[in-house]
Amino acid sequence: MRILIVEDEKTLAEVMSSSLKKEKYSVDMAFDGETGLDDALSGIYNLIILDIMLPFIDGIEILKQIRENKIDTKVIMLTAKSELEDKLNGLYSGADDYMTKPFHIEELIARVNVQLRKNEAQKVADEIEAYDLKLNVKKSELLCTTTNETIEVGYKEFLLLEYLMQNKNIIVSKEQIYDKVWGINNTSESNNLEAYLSFLRKKLKAIDSNVTIRAIRNLGYKLEEKQ
């Protein structure tokens, strides 16, 4: 589960970040509204903790743009007492929860957990399907429905294949794949992408699937059926 904190008070951001990391969440931080908006629009976060008063672009505008871009990330707004009135004015519409500063960090963690559990309950799908492929989420097992052959996939292979299957017949860029599979601030492993794609192609072949991962020059990759 990946969380983005958009908060210009660095000390507060870092306190939140280290507490959330202890809860085994992956956390990224943005210290101004412009960076925060860019990160938020990547769509890779399960939850965003969003301060309202921020340099460059305020939290309410960021929230608006997240929703306009149909990103369904959970959002918890942080407000100062004086901004509470904004809630009554409906400016937080689209937020899932809000907290008034100052708050206890335990309270924030509890609310984050509630939001993310709700989110998981909504995503009960155990299987993702694309063409003749069925990916079993719990067992990390890939089934070809025409041959009935199965094969296990590793963790990164799973994330990569899941993303390609969710976007079947759509070109996804390398950057999108890096963000989704390795995380936005992590470039160390990302040049292994070719290797993981090659593992996946071998596995598709092994189960005799009609699905292929096509490299499209300068653009990215596409999961599609063989011609």
Q: Which CB atom, from 53 or from 109, has the smaller least distance to Ca ion? A: 53
Query: 155 pairs with which residues across the strands?
Result: none
Q: Which CB atom, from 8 or from 97, has the smaller least distance to Ca ion? A: 8
By the criterion CB under 5 A, which residues form the site for Ca ion?
8, 51, 53
Q: Which CB atom, from 51 or from 157, has the smaller least distance to Ca ion? A: 51
Q: Which residues, 6+ apart, have CB-to-CB distance to 33 below 8 Å?
A: 6, 54, 55, 56, 57, 58, 59, 61, 62
- How far apart are CB 73 and Ca ion at their closest, in Å? 20
Q: Which residues, 6+ apart, have CB-to-CB distance to 81 below 8 Å?
A: 100, 101
- How far apart are CB 50 and Ca ion at their closest, in Å? 10
Buried b (16+ CB within 10 A) or exposed e, 181-216: bbbbeeeeeeeebeebbebbeebbeebebebebeee
Q: Which CB atom, from 57 or from 171, has the smaller least distance to Ca ion? A: 57
CB 184 within 8 A of CB 172: no
Tokens 């709700």 correspond to what residue? 118
- How far apart are CB 9 and Ca ion at their closest, in Å? 6
- How far apart are CB 4 and Ca ion at their closest, in Å? 15
- How far apart are CB 156 and Ca ion at their closest, in Å? 36
Q: Which CB atom, from 51 or from 224, has the smaller least distance to Ca ion? A: 51
